[in-house]
Amino acid sequence: MPILKQLSVFVQNQPGKIERVTSVLAENNINILAFNIASSGEYGVIKIITDKPELAYKKYKEAGLTAYLSEVLGIVMQDKPGGLHSVAQLIAKNSLNVENAYVYVPKSRKKAMLIIDVRDLKAARKNIAFDKKLKSE
Amino acid sequence: MFWQKNIETLPREQLEKLQLLRLKATVKRVYAKVPYYKKLFRAKKTAPKEIKTLEDITKLPFTTRDDLQKNYPDGLLSVTKDKLVRLHTSSGTTGKPKAVFFTEKDIATAANNMARCLTMTGVTKSDVLQNMMSYGLFTGGLMMHYGAEKIGALVIPAAIGNTDRQLLLMQDFGTTSIHLTPSYALYLAAIFEKKGRAFRKKLKLKRAYMGAEPYTEETKNKIESILKLKVYNSYGLTEMNGPGVAFECGFQAGMHLWEDSYLMEIVDPKTDRPLPDGQTGELILTTLTREGMPIIRYRTRDLTAIIPEKCKCGRTHRRIMRIKGRADDMFILRGVNIYPQQIERVLMSVAHVEKNYQIYLEDNDKMTVKVEITKKLFDGNLEHLKKLQFDLTEKLRAEIMVRPSVELVEPGTLPVSEGKAKRVFDNRKIY
């Protein structure tokens, strides 16, 4: 179960603000794999998974944007009805406190991945991996 | 009309003689009785005997807002506490206020000055003054009350708010004069417009005194035309007894400052050098008659100029121009004096909030504090930002008693000015 690097960027909810966030990536030839916006009216946090997270982080800093680099858990889902449901069951069973979640579909398009932001990443990973293993057996 | 014609028209020469006599007595008094002043005098290598002419006042130290706060609650008293009859504090916040004490004689002097002010705008004992200012620690309500009572006018201590009752009182008791804040006056104006001419015709209103907040000439004109009365400009501050320090006479060309009670100077706020009459600078006031808590060279931070020409009304007490602004960046919101430093202190008390903030003021008493979200404040979590925003709002409300809206902004969005950062953007039209 992969641990991915997620970028969070603080943005004000104003015209042109998202464009500013994406332009940094475009200019530096960084590919966006998943993108999610959580807004609270006047401001929000953009979450981005890219192919070059460290570089993206550096470029944001240089551009004067407030960014934060953290690790998130990616749970592979079966691309069929009920795929997300079984992952949700896993999360519930392990009483994980998910702060944020969104879907990432890798290039292959065979499988989708649910990206979850949890407090204790390592423990979550261990529990879910163990559960999954049991299930597949 | 005069309240005390002999003093109000005292020839300059005699007035200045009286000022010198009173200045000498005041200086002697604080030097002997207020240890803090003795210390200030010594630091400036000066003593009461140095004061031989009025011009010698520049040898004395200034008293600042900080000095008053440092001496809170009662460090600057020059009488024993049993001589005191009243305490007022600066319109205020929960930070350390400026406490000002009065003896019985101090109250009488302040009321007398107020009576002069009201009389010169035409108030007599047959007038009815509805005092729509808050009573309490704030000087505005009580000092106006005492002044009007001294004249023998009927005072309605209506205090602030409850507009329906205010209108009823005006109508039923034939109010001729009102004392209120400019923001409340604008509110009343809107109601008068709604009620129409017939309602106004039932009232006997002649004049309004607006205080506690600054206002523009445009606001004054608007209120005069809608309420159909005369608005008289006035100047006062708690540290100097509140309202009635300076007031417009019937000719309305500047405000007469009672020079037998206060010695005024205008200095360049940057260099502290005295400026000649007619030039705009910071108004410095020294109390000449106060017993309980005399204050030497108080830096009002208010910008104005002295009008040296004799007024047509015959009063010899010189006039000052309407206040043109502040030498510091204090602003007034809902009658509360607020300093950007207070906002800054609250922001700094929250971990990692940095110095980059700005305060925006809009009409209808709206205040917005913009805070930059720097790297240290950000962990990618939206909930944490919301909590920060909530905490800042609550802490600011506790400090300044007005609930601001706190906006979180990206770093670099607040313009950085050269030199001293501009913190306050006052976009209010009524001031």
Contact list, A39 vs chain B (CB under 8 Å): 382
Q: For residues A33 and A49, is the Cβ–Cβ distance under 8 A?
A: yes
Looking at the fold, whether A17 and A47 belong to one and the same domain comes out as yes
Strands B366-372 and B405-409: parallel
CA distance B341 to chain A (A): 26
CA distance A35 to A6: 10
The CATH number covering residue A39 comes to: 3.30.2130.10
CB contacts of B368 in chain A (<8 Å) are none
- Note whether B243 and B211 are within 8 A (CB): yes
Q: pTM, whole model, 2 decimals?
A: 0.73
C-alpha dihedral sign at A46, A47, A49, A50: positive
Query: Rounded CA gap, A26 and B18, in Å?
Result: 79
Q: Final residue of a domain: which of B305, B326, B347?
A: B326
Per-residue pLDDT of chain B (431 residues; tens, 9 = 90+): 999 999 999 999 999 999 999 999 999 999 999 999 999 999 999 999 999 999 999 999 999 988 998 999 999 999 999 999 999 987 545 457 789 999 999 999 999 999 999 999 999 999 999 999 989 888 999 999 999 999 999 999 999 889 999 999 999 999 999 999 888 898 899 899 999 999 999 999 999 999 887 787 888 988 999 999 999 999 999 999 999 999 999 999 999 999 999 999 999 998 999 999 999 999 999 999 999 999 999 999 999 999 999 999 999 999 999 988 888 888 888 878 888 878 888 887 887 777 678 899 998 888 999 998 888 889 888 889 999 999 999 999 988 888 899 999 988 777 655 445 678 888 887 66
Question: Do B17 and B42 lie in a common domain?
Answer: yes
Is A45–B379 a contact, with Cβ atoms under 8 angstroms apart?
A: no
Q: Which of B179, B184, B139 is nearest to B430 (CA)?
A: B184
Residues B213 and B350 in one domain: no
Domain harbouring A109, CATH code: 3.30.70.260
CATH number of the domain bearing residue B246: 3.40.50.12780
Q: Torsion angle of alpha carbons B310, B314, B317, B318, nearest 10°?
A: -20
Hey, how many other C-beta atoms are within 10 angstroms of the C-beta on B249?
A: 26
B97 and B223 in a common domain: yes
For residue B110, tell me if it sits in a domain: yes
Pick the residue from chain B with its C-alpha nearest to A7. Answer: B380
**Encoding tokens for residue A108?**
């292959």
Q: Does the beta-carbon distance from A68 to B411 stay under 8 Å? A: no
Using the Cβ of A97 and the Cβ atoms of chain B, whether some distance falls under 8 Å is answered with: no
Across the interface, of A8, A40, A65, the residue whose CB is closest to B380 is A8
What order do you get walking across the sheet with B281-287 strand by strand? B262-267, B281-287, B298-304, B325-326
Q: Which one of A70, A90, A124 terminates a domain?
A: A70
Task: State yes or no: pLDDT of A13 exceeds 60.
Answer: yes
| CB nearest B410 (choices: A12, A38, A117) | A12
| Beta carbons of A12 and B385 less than 8 Å apart | no
Fill in the DSSP letter of residue B56: G
For residues B191 and B167, the answer to whether their CB atoms sit within 8 Å is yes
Task: Decide if B352 touches A, using CB distance below 8 A.
Answer: no
Q: Is the interface score ipTM higher than 0.90?
A: no
Domain containing residue A131: 71-136
Candidates B371, B382, B405, B409: best to mutate against A (most CBs of A within 10 A) is: B382
> Using CA atoms, how far apart are residues B392 and B404, in angstroms rounded to an integer?
9
Last residue of a domain, one of B306, B326, B346: B326
> Across-strand partners of B257?
B246
Q: What is the span of the domain harbouring residue B394?
A: 331-426
Q: Does A99 sit within 8 Å of B373, measured CB to CB?
A: no
Query: For residues B245, B248, B250 and B252, what is the CA-based torsion angle, rounded to 10 degrees?
Result: 170
Listed residues A28, A45, A70: the one ending a domain = A70
Measured CA to CA, the distance from residue B53 to residue B32 in angstroms comes to 20
